[in-house]
Amino acid sequence: MPDEMKVDVLAVAPHPDDLEIQCGGTLAQLAKLGHTVGMIHMTNGEPTPRGTLERRMAETAEAAKILGVAFHEVLDLPNRELMDTLENRYKLAATLRKYRPRVLMTMYGRTVTASPDHYQAQLLCEAARFYSRLTKWDDRFGGYPPHTIDHLVYIPIMVSAEPLQLQWKFAVDITDTMDQKLAAISAYKSQFDGERAESILHRIRSISGANGGVAGVKYAEIFGADRPVRATDPLSIL
């Protein structure tokens, strides 16, 4: 039986820098609160115009360190060609069984003007979450035993050409970790240097600030839940 570990939150996205941009503040906040958080980059993100594999992996490690997460892993699925195939579902489900998260987070929505990998990643995560709990199929998942993931949390893409149909949403106050989020994004110098860095940081501040305005805090990230957020004491979430 392979080594296993258990984590509270596993965040999964196709490219190194996706999670930092979309939910870096929340990942840092969760880690700060003492939760075990892992980041899974489904591909190594290369090739890109200014990146190299070695440089991108160093940036990925630096960003994870800045956010304070317990671990990160880069899977060997193909950048630019990520597809919701059975083989890829098995690979991702094996990773979910290996880390056994209570909560799975993944990007939500189609990036119609950018990489199609993001939507395929959503489909893969939804399928792999289901496959993770199935019995009598361990041979497909490297021998890892079944694991049921309690919650799938959607990270809506920041800018979408179409409305996102998220029925249940919640906001995380990232005011205390906003600087970590910006620093983690800045670690990707192969992707964001000079004007590009200025532009992405401006957009992140603006969007997080606008989300914060809606949520009644300075900066926030907004997520979708797979079912209504429950509370025995409603005041605990108000």
**Interaction site with Zn ion (CB under 5 A):** 15, 18
Residue 158 Cβ vs Zn ion, minimum distance, rounded to whole Å: 11
Beta bridge partners of 6: none
Asked if residues 149 and 125 have their Cβ atoms less than 8 Å apart, the reply is: no
Whether omega for the bond prior to residue 156 falls within 30 degrees of 0, making it cis, is no
97 vs 181 by CB, closer to Zn ion: 181
With CA atoms as reference, report the closest residue to 25 among 14, 15, 11: 11
With CA atoms as reference, report the closest residue to 101 among 166, 39, 22: 39
Quickly tell me which residue has 């991108």 as its tokens.
Answer: 56
4 vs 193 by CB, closer to Zn ion: 193
Residue 56 Cβ vs Zn ion, minimum distance, rounded to whole Å: 12
- Dist CA 178 CA 97 (whole Å): 31
The residue whose Cβ lies closest to Zn ion is 15
64 vs 215 by CB, closer to Zn ion: 64
Residue 2 Cβ vs Zn ion, minimum distance, rounded to whole Å: 29
Q: Is the dihedral of CA 74, 77, 80, 85 positive or negative?
A: negative
- Dist CA 172 CA 157 (whole Å): 16
49 vs 228 by CB, closer to Zn ion: 49
Quickly tell me which residue has 């630019």 as its tokens.
Answer: 80
15 vs 181 by CB, closer to Zn ion: 15
Residue 65 Cβ vs Zn ion, minimum distance, rounded to whole Å: 20
Residue 22 Cβ vs Zn ion, minimum distance, rounded to whole Å: 9
- Dist CA 92 CA 121 (whole Å): 10
Residue 188 Cβ vs Zn ion, minimum distance, rounded to whole Å: 11
Residue 14 Cβ vs Zn ion, minimum distance, rounded to whole Å: 5
Cα distances from 231 to residues 48, 62, 204, 215, 236, in angstroms, run 44, 36, 31, 19, 7
For residues 162, 168, 174, 179, the Cα torsion angle rounded to the nearest 10 degrees is -30
18 vs 173 by CB, closer to Zn ion: 18
10 vs 42 by CB, closer to Zn ion: 42
